[in-house]
Amino acid sequence: MFKRFKKNKKSSSFHAVATGTLLPISAVEDGVFSEKLLGDGYAVKPANSEVFSPVEGKVLSIFPTKHAITIETTAGFEILLHMGLDTVELKGEPFEIFVTEGQKVTAETKLATMDLEKLAETNTPSTIVVVITNMDKVKDMPKTSEKTVNATEEIFSVEVG
């Protein structure tokens, strides 16, 4: 009976996609990301090969070159998870994907592995970027600063605006 009077706050928690160094998106060595042309978010310089979901939601798409996955959160945010920089040219070689389109995921879901040695051999940065592409839904974007993180650790929460 009183449900209509409750304010329905929708939000999504964002997590570290890998163990490593958390970076503000402005520190990513690619202007498309650092200048927030696709949206705002954060990045992780991974210390190992495992890549986890940054959010709870559903996998919308997996790029044919396996370097990027899009996820829609339960609150309606559209997330681009981009593994490495300039990795599209590698034609999927350093990536193994463990999820399928339409699959529900949580922060504990391992999405992929990245062959860090292969990336190093090709001089390709391994930085993993997480971007909210529909920023018009974001009420207030939290700031991130460089620090060491563990995979699946909560980074921040974002409210629908």
Residues with a catalytic annotation lie at: 82
Cβ contact 63:56 at 8 Å: no
**Alpha-carbon gap, residue 46 to 130, rounded angstroms:** 13
Residue type, 66: K
**Alpha-carbon gap, residue 130 to 24, rounded angstroms:** 10
Residue type, 1: M
Backbone angles phi, psi at 116, to 5 degrees: -65, -30
**Alpha-carbon gap, residue 44 to 42, rounded angstroms:** 7
